[in-house]
Structure 1
Amino acid sequence: MKKAELSYLVEDRARIAVRVTPKASRNEVMLREGQIRIQTTTAPENGKANKAVLKLLADALGIAKSRLELIQGATSKDKVFQING
């Protein structure tokens, strides 16, 4: 997915649900059947995969990482992020 391709979703306090696949063969953000799916090569240990997903999602949305907050699913494949500011 191109940088800022999901920018139409950016709205203050908007919540974005994603499905994550850690330890994938490549880093990728895709939109399938209306759901955002993120694949990351990072292993899910000590929050490393969450940080990688945060960066990939921020790039796809075209916003700074600091504007995203993980509000649900820190240890789950299904996560919810909130856009702040």
Structure 2
Amino acid sequence: MPPQDALTVAVRVKPGASRDRVGGCFDGPHGPALVIAVHAPAVDGRATEAARRALAAALGVRQSTVSLRAGAASRDKLFLVDGPGPELTEALRRLRDGSAG
């Protein structure tokens, strides 16, 4: 069970993209998921690590606050973000809606 002071973020990773991009929504097995396209291949966890870094950058948080909760070998992942605030939830909503600047 995730800690009370952590936000669970469902993510759909698209490895092997021409460039890294965060934004959009995918109806995945964990509910509405944020789409993260990464240049890294889906080999030896490289795409997962690239997605973790991209998520941290898109949310404006330190990389150390984002950790993988589930889905290490899947395109559909759950990440935990420690110490979320209301601004983080709003940023996540904008990213999913594709309205982030």
Residue 24 (structure 1) aligned with residue 22 (structure 2) = no
Q: Tell me the matched-pair count.
A: 75
What SS does the corresponding residue of 1:66 show, helix, strand or coil? Answer: helix
Corresponding position of 2:97: none
What SS does the corresponding residue of 2:11 show, helix, strand or coil? Answer: strand
Instruction: Give the aligned CA root-mean-square deviation in angstroms.
Output: 1.7
Question: Unaligned regions of 5+ residues in structure 2, if any?
Answer: 27-31, 84-101
- Per the normalisation by structure 1, the TM-score is 0.79
In the alignment, the residues of structure 2 paired with residue 54 and residue 15 of structure 1 have an alpha-carbon distance, to the nearest angstrom, of: 13
- Per the normalisation by structure 2, the TM-score is 0.68
Greater CA radius of gyration, 1 or 2?
2
Question: Unaligned regions of 5+ residues in structure 1, if any?
Answer: 1-10
Which structure's relative contact order is higher, taking Cα pairs within 8 Å and 6+ residues apart?
1
